[in-house]
């Protein structure tokens, strides 16, 4: 049994690689679009059916318009960089949901939700574009599938340890140490890496779409103010700290503007 688990883990490690076109790096991904997208689309439809979706308002139309501009910019970038069919399986959708939570999220395949609670912080269409670029980037980089793949490997490691360790007391110690160690030492940094990657990709895509990348740091300053300083230490969080994001986005803004200039975009909304 132990050999079977190790063989499965080895097979996953060898076969589960996909290149991220924005970074050129191989990613951990065991799930093809044909498998994960239908599941994500079904879950998204179920969520919309169970929540109040706002349509036809100025804010709802802004969410859709911004999402369309940014996904179109992503397609332009991909086509120009040798990935013309990369988005063929994506079914972009952008919905505004009545909820006080300060949040927005994206599912694999381009299914995005904004909560009304985030609009007072985004304030403008450019503020929405900062968040939208980040969420679109998650979809482009297959972060959902990567998190599922990492979770699978985490489970395989736990099973392998429990098979290998025969002594019940030692096994119990292993399970406690493995649970905390794999979460704090692997899974949380993995998630923070995705968030940072989505910030950087999203910044470039929003700039190509004509939105001012220098406004991204300002949006996160408002996010920081809204949080009231209530946040866990960064090493215990799935996301980088507000200060880390503000610093990163400030440094990356000129890079995003230069990327947009390659597509003839030199003035921003």
Among 75, 125, 135, 197, the active-site one is 135
Q: Is 135 a catalytic residue?
A: yes
d(CA 19, CA 37): 18
Query: In 3D, which of 139, 170, 175 has the Cα closest to residue 159?
Result: 175
**Cα–Cα dist 9/5, whole Å:** 6
Q: Is 200 exposed, middle or buried (0-12, 13-18, 19+ CB in 10 A)?
A: buried
Rounded CA-CA distance 256/236 in Å is 29
Distance CA 197, CA 23 (A): 9
Return the residue matching tokens 């940094």.
189
Q: Which two tokens stand for residue 43?
A: 């879950």
Residues serving a catalytic function are 135
């Amino acid at each position: 049994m132990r050999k079977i688990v190790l063989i499965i883990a080895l097979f996953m490690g060898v076969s589960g690689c996909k290149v991220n076109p924005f970074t050129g790096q191989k990613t951990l991904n065991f799930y093809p679009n044909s498998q994960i997208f239908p599941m994500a689309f079904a879950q998204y439809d179920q969520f919309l059916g169970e929540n109040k979706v706002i349509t036809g308002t100025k804010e709802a139309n802004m969410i859709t318009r911004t999402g369309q501009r940014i996904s179109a910019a992503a397609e332009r970038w991909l086509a120009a960089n040798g990935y013309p069919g990369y988005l063929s399986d994506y079914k972009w959708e952008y919905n505004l949901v009545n909820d006080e939570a300060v949040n927005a999220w994206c599912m694999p395949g381009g299914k995005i939700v904004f909560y009304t609670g985030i609009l007072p912080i985004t304030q403008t269409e450019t503020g929405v574009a900062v968040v939208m670029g980040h969420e679109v980037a998650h979809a482009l980089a297959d972060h959902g599938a990567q998190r599922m793949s990492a979770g699978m490997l985490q489970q395989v490691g736990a099973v392998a340890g429990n098979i290998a360790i025969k002594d019940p007391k030692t096994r119990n110690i292993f399970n406690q140490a493995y649970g905390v160690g794999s979460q704090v030492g692997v899974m949380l940094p993995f998630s923070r890496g995705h968030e940072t990657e989505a910030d950087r990709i999203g910044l470039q895509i929003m700039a190509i779409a004509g939105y001012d990348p220098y406004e991204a740091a300002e949006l996160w300053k408002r996010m920081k103010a809204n949080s009231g300083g209530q946040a866990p230490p960064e090493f215990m969080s799935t996301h980088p700290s507000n200060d880390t994001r503000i610093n990163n986005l400030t440094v990356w803004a000129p890079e995003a503007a230069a990327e947009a200039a390659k597509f003839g975009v030199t003035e921003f909304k």
